[in-house]
C-alpha cells in the first residue's frame, strides 16, 4: 500500500507581501489596496516592520476575489458582507456558548 | 449521491419531545462515557464521541433542531433530501440535468448529512460558475485558470487543540474534463493552538487548475467539539461548579477538572451564585503567542432536592435569627 502523504500546514507561517500575492494569485497592488480598505490585516505594522501576512490573510484575499468575480461585488459591498459575516460568526459562537450553559 | 438520514435523537438516546435540558444531560452522560481520553476501546469511542457531538451540535441549538425536525418530517429516509429546504451546496453542480459531486470529504469528524444541511463548507473560486468549463468540455486554447478552493469543517476536540493531532482526511473529486472520480487520502497534522473558526490552509489540495494554472487550496475550518465539562469562549474555558448553599456561605475547598489533570480550588466564604473564579493559564493555547487562556469556574448554587425534618428545623432557625433580606434595596 502506498504510504500516505503527510501534510503539515504551518498555521504560524507568515509570508512577505510578494509570497502572499503569489499564493493568493493576485497582483501585489491588490493586497495593498485590500489592506488600505481594512479588508485584510498584516501581522506586523507595515510602517515599522514591513508587510507580513498569514494563512488567514491568504484565505481572505481568495474570498475577496470570489466576491468580486463570481458575485460581481465592489469593495464597499465586500466590506459590508465581510463585516456581517464576521458578526454572524461571533454571535453564533456566543449563542452556542449560552446554549451550553 | 443520496445522503443517509441521521437519527440524532437515537444517537443521544432521547425522545423527540425531549427538553433542551434533557438533551444537554444526555449529551454530557454519553460524552463522558465515550470521551477518547477515558474510554478503553479508543478507536470505537472516538467514532462514537464524534457522532454524539454531531448530534448535540444540531439538537443542542434550538434553531438547528427545528430545521432538523422539519427535515425529518419530510421523509426521514435516504434520498428524501434532494428537494428538501436548506443547504444544497457542497460543490454539487448539475450538468446536463445530472447531478455531479465535484468533491466529497471523509474523515473530518462530520457526516455527509451534517455537512449538507448544517456545515459551513463549500467551493470558492475566482471563476464564474456559470461560464467556466463544465464536465466534459475542453478548455479553450491558452486559457489559464487557478483551481477553486475547497472548504470543509473539521471536528477538533479540546484535547487535540491543546496537543495537536494527525488526521486522515479523504477527498473525492471529479475531474472536470473526464468526469472521472478519484479519491485522495491525506494525513493532515492539526497543529496545537488552533482556535474555533480557524482555517487551516492545506496548500494545493483544492481543485486542479486549468491550462497549467495553479491548484486551489483546501481549507479545513476548525470546529471545536463540545466537551462534557467545559465550554469555550475564545481561548478561555468555563466550568460550571455546583455548590451546596452552606459551601457557598462558609467557603470550601473543591476538586475541579482541567484539561491537564485536576486542581484543588479554594472557594472563598460568601461566594455568590454566578461568581467566576479564575484559574490562570488552564485554558486553551492562545495562537502563536505561547500563552494559555484561563479556566473560569462559574459558581452554581444548588438547593437540596428534599430536606429532612432536622434540616428543616435548622433552616427555620436560620430564617428567624438572620436579618438578611435580599429584596431590601
B304: pLDDT strictly greater than 50: yes
Q: How far is it, in rounded angstroms, from Cα B224 to Cα B153?
A: 10
Q: Classify B298 as helix, strand or coil.
A: strand
B211: pLDDT strictly greater than 90: no
Record: contact B201-A65, CB cut-off 8 A = no
Domain-embedded: residue B316: no
- Domain hosting B13: range is 1-82
Residue B274: closest CA among B300, B296, B294, B295: B300
Residues B107 and B180 in one domain: yes
Name which of B199, B297, B300 to mutate to probe chain A: the one with the most chain A Cβ atoms within 10 A of its Cβ.
Answer: B199
Residues B165 and B280 in one domain: no
According to the model, what pLDDT value does residue B122 have? 66
Residues B14 and B48 in one domain: yes
Residue B152's alpha-carbon distances to A59, B155, B199, in angstroms, are 13, 10, 9
**The C-alpha cell that represents B65 in the structure block:** 433542531
Q: Is B106 in CB contact (< 8 Å) with chain A?
A: no
The CATH classification of domain A15-99, taken from the options 2.60.120.1440, 1.10.1660.10, 3.30.460.80, 3.40.50.800: 1.10.1660.10
Record: contact A100-B24, CB cut-off 8 A = yes
**Bridge partners of residue B98, in order along the sequence:** B95
Q: How far is it, in rounded angstroms, from Cα A47 to Cα A66?
A: 29
CATH of the domain at B3: 1.10.287.110
**Which band of pLDDT confidence, cut at 50, 70 and 90, is reported for residue B227?**
very high
Residue B219: closest CA among B291, B149, B115: B149
Record: contact A9-B127, CB cut-off 8 A = no
Distance from CA of A60 to the nearest CA of B (A): 10
More confident residue, B109 or B73: B109
Residues B3 and B70 in one domain: yes
Q: Give the ipTM.
A: 0.80
Beta strands across the sheet bearing B276-279: B230-233, B236-243, B295-301, B276-279
Over the stretch A38-93, which tens digit does the pLDDT of each residue have?
999 888 777 777 889 988 899 999 999 989 988 999 999 999 999 999 899 889 88
What are the φ/ψ torsions at residue B129 (nearest 5 degrees)? -60, -30
Record: contact A7-B189, CB cut-off 8 A = yes
**Bridge partners of residue B106, in order along the sequence:** B170
Q: Classify B50 as helix, strand or coil.
A: helix
Minimum-distance CB partner of B187 among A4, A23, A25: A4
Q: How far is it, in rounded angstroms, from Cα A46 to Cα A23?
A: 19
Residues B4 and B73 in one domain: yes
String of b and e for B230-254 (b: at least 16 CB within 10 Å)?
A: bbbbebbbbbebebeeebbeeebee
Distance from CA of A52 to the nearest CA of B (A): 15
Record: contact B166-A6, CB cut-off 8 A = yes
Over the stretch B5-51, which tens digit does the pLDDT of each residue have?
889 999 999 999 999 999 999 999 999 899 877 777 777 888 899 89
Record: contact A99-B202, CB cut-off 8 A = no
Pairing label, strands B218-224, B149-156: parallel
Amino acid at each position: 500500500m502506498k504510504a500516505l502523504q503527510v501534510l503539515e500546514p504551518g498555521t504560524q507561517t507568515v509570508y512577505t507581501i510578494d509570497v502572499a500575492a503569489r499564493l493568493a494569485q493576485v497582483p501585489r497592488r491588490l493586497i495593498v489596496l485590500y489592506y488600505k480598505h481594512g479588508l485584510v490585516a498584516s501581522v506586523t505594522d507595515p510602517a515599522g516592520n514591513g508587510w507580513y501576512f498569514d494563512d488567514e490573510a491568504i484565505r481572505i484575499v481568495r474570498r475577496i476575489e470570489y466576491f468580486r468575480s463570481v458575485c460581481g461585488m465592489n469593495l464597499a459591498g465586500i466590506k459590508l458582507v465581510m463585516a456581517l459575516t464576521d458578526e454572524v460568526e461571533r454571535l453564533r459562537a456566543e449563542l452556542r456558548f449560552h446554549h451550553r450553559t | 449521491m443520496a445522503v443517509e438520514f441521521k437519527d440524532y435523537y437515537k444517537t443521544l438516546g432521547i425522545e423527540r419531545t425531549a427538553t433542551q435540558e434533557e438533551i444537554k444531560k444526555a449529551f454530557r452522560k454519553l460524552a463522558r462515557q465515550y470521551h477518547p481520553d477515558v474510554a478503553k476501546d479508543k478507536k470505537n469511542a472516538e467514532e462514537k464521541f464524534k457522532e454524539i457531538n454531531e448530534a448535540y451540535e444540531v439538537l443542542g441549538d434550538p434553531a438547528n433542531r427545528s430545521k432538523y425536525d422539519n427535515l425529518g418530517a419530510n421523509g426521514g429516509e435516504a434520498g428524501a433530501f434532494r428537494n428538501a429546504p436548506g443547504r444544497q451546496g457542497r460543490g454539487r453542480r448539475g450538468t446536463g440535468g445530472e447531478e455531479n459531486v465535484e468533491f466529497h470529504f471523509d474523515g473530518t469528524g462530520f457526516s455527509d448529512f451534517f455537512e449538507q444541511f448544517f456545515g459551513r463548507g463549500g467551493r470558492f473560486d475566482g471563476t464564474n460558475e456559470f461560464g467556466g468549463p463544465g464536465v466534459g468540455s475542453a478548455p479553450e486554447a491558452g486559457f489559464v485558470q487557478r483551481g477553486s478552493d475547497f472548504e470543509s469543517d473539521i471536528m477538533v476536540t479540546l484535547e487535540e487543540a491543546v496537543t495537536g493531532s494527525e488526521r486522515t482526511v479523504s477527498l473525492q473529486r471529479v475531474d472536470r474534463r473526464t468526469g472521472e472520480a478519484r479519491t485522495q487520502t491525506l494525513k493532515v497534522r492539526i497543529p496545537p493552538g488552533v482556535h474555533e473558526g480557524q482555517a487551516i490552509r492545506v496548500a494545493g489540495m483544492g481543485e486542479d487548475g486549468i491550462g497549467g494554472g495553479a491548484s486551489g487550496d483546501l481549507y479545513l475550518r476548525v470546529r471545536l467539539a463540545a466537551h462534557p465539562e467545559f465550554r469555550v469562549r475564545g481561548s478561555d474555558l468555563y466550568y460550571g461548579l455546583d455548590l451546596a448553599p452552606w459551601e457557598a456561605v462558609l467557603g470550601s475547598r473543591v476538586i475541579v477538572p482541567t484539561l491537564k489533570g485536576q486542581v484543588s480550588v479554594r472557594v472563598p466564604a460568601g461566594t455568590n451564585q454566578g461568581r467566576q473564579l479564575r484559574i490562570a493559564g488552564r485554558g486553551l493555547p492562545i495562537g502563536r503567542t505561547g500563552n494559555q487562556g484561563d479556566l473560569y469556574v462559574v459558581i452554581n448554587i444548588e438547593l437540596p432536592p428534599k430536606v429532612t425534618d432536622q434540616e428543616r428545623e435548622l433552616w427555620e432557625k436560620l430564617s428567624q435569627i438572620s436579618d438578611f433580606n435580599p429584596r431590601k434595596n
